[in-house]
Amino acid sequence: MSDSRNAVSADQPGGVPGSGAGASLLAASPETGLAPYAAHASRTRGRRYPELPPAARSEFQRDRDRIVHSTAFRRLEYKTQVFVNHEGDLFRTRLTHSLEVAQIARSVARNLRVNEDLVEAISLAHDLGHTPFGHAGQDALNDCMREHGGFEHNLQSLAVVDELEEHYGAFDGLNLCFETREGILKHCSRENARRLGDLGERFLLGRQPSIEAQIANIADEIAYNNHDVDDGLRSGLISIEQLAEVELWQTHYETARAEFPRIEGRRLVHETVRRIINTLIVDLIEETSRNLAKHAPQSIDEVRGAPPLVAHSTPVAVQAATLKRFLYRNLYRHYRVMRMANKAQRVVTGLFAAFTEDSRLLPPAYQSPDPSAQPRLIAHYIAGMTDRYALKEYRRLFVVDDDA
Ligand code: MG
């Protein structure tokens, strides 16, 4: 089922360096062992702007490479997950989070014989649209944008790869494949879905994305639940004693202690966390395999028409939800995290107000002669900031006698 709709015609002007000529290098395709329900790069629904096929790599590998080389990807290093970037060198940032998501997602994908290149591309791109200061920043920006269509980080990730990156001569954005974009857009309001055409369709029809997108989505949760426990303990905001109420933690903590009675501290935490991650991954593979056997999808389209297939078993899902609730109560709502969130909110809201009041304060690329287009450009500008850049920009605008 080769898709001719998006095949590049011979008269396609230009082409991308390294494209086309070496197509024979793909003879040893990494896709040969894929299951029928996997996303096959050779059958992609294509890119918004047709391009010649890549040489020596698949379409999804090309997507992954474009993501890694993007500016937004490099900025993830200085964006918060839970802790503000400068709080400590050992905490996760959105960059290391995205790498952990990709690692987990690839392990699951390989076991299910689906496309590792695609899950990697989706995982690495899934947080590109995050504002500075994590969820506090996103909530603040959403409040600022309430009268102007709101702000949602999934949609912003899509805006980054579809419009905002300025890398290529022939198009704005990264011009990624449909399947990669589908995976990036995890959630979407019905209103936005209508505006998004083929990409939004599934939200209106109640259909699912590819197996690869479903894997990246759950890999995200596995990654943050575990690294937030790890970072939470490292920061001292939560304790091992508190975690005793969480079955998923306590079971593996006791196993680790039984196996290594002499270890303690960081080493014991890590021995526990790695067991939790492993349990979640193995359970995910087993339960999803059962779902695949039951529904027996024969193509990616049948996956899209089936119920969600990538899932934990019920007992493990319950355990994971308990851990998530624990983190919410004890870490994300910890007073020291709330103080940071409050400060973040003030920075984002203050920046937005200042730029709205006088758009001449914005860099020229973000100024619009059309007043109705201005709020979205301000949101793009703020969303693209790293934590430290946002703080610096705030000081520049609000602190008198600052040397900035
Ligand atoms: Mg994430």
Ligand 1 centroid to Cα of residue 359, in Å, is: 32
Average pLDDT, integer, range 83-111 = 85
The helix (run of H) or strand (run of E) holding residue 349 is helix 335-357
- DSSP readout, 251-284? HHHHHHHHH-TT--HHHHHHHHHHHHHHHHHHHH
Ligand 1 centroid to Cα of residue 10, in Å, is: 40
| Structural contact between residues 67 and 124, judged by C-beta atoms closer than 8 angstroms | yes
Domain for residue 393, yes or no? yes
Provide the percentage of residues in the chain whose pLDDT is more than 90. 82
pLDDT band at 84, cuts 50/70/90?
low
Q: What is the CATH number of the domain that holds 191?
A: 1.10.3210.10
Domain for residue 27, yes or no? no
Ligand 1 is a single-atom ion; what residues have CB below 5 A from it? 127, 220
Domain for residue 16, yes or no? no
Ligand 1 centroid to Cα of residue 23, in Å, is: 34
Q: How many domains does the chain have?
A: 1
Instruction: List, for residues 233-263, the tens digit of each pLDDT value.
Output: 998 999 999 999 999 999 999 999 999 999 9
Residue 83 to residues 133, 331, 339, 344: CA-CA distances in angstroms?
Answer: 8, 10, 11, 11
Ligand 1 centroid to Cα of residue 155, in Å, is: 14
Q: Can you tell me the distance from the alpha carbon of 210 to that of 131, in angstroms, rounded to the nearest whole number? A: 26
Using alpha carbons, select from 283, 248, 245, 249 the residue that is nearest to residue 268.
249
Ligand 1 centroid to Cα of residue 345, in Å, is: 20
Strand positions, DSSP E, 215-287? none
Structural domain span for residue 384: 3-10+44-398
Domain for residue 25, yes or no? no
**What confidence score (pLDDT) does residue 134 get?**
87
Average pLDDT, integer, range 137-142 = 96
The helix (run of H) or strand (run of E) holding residue 233 is helix 211-235
Using alpha carbons, select from 160, 207, 142, 212 the residue that is nearest to residue 183.
212
Domain for residue 120, yes or no? yes
Domain for residue 263, yes or no? yes
Domain for residue 387, yes or no? yes
pLDDT band at 166, cuts 50/70/90?
very high
Ligand 1 centroid to Cα of residue 132, in Å, is: 13
Ligand 1 centroid to Cα of residue 377, in Å, is: 24
Domain for residue 185, yes or no? yes
Query: How confident is the prediction for the chain on average, in pLDDT?
Result: 90
Ligand 1 centroid to Cα of residue 380, in Å, is: 19
Ligand 1 centroid to Cα of residue 97, in Å, is: 7
Instruction: List, for residues 46-56, the tens digit of each pLDDT value.
Output: 999 999 999 99
Written as one letter, the residue type at 309 is L
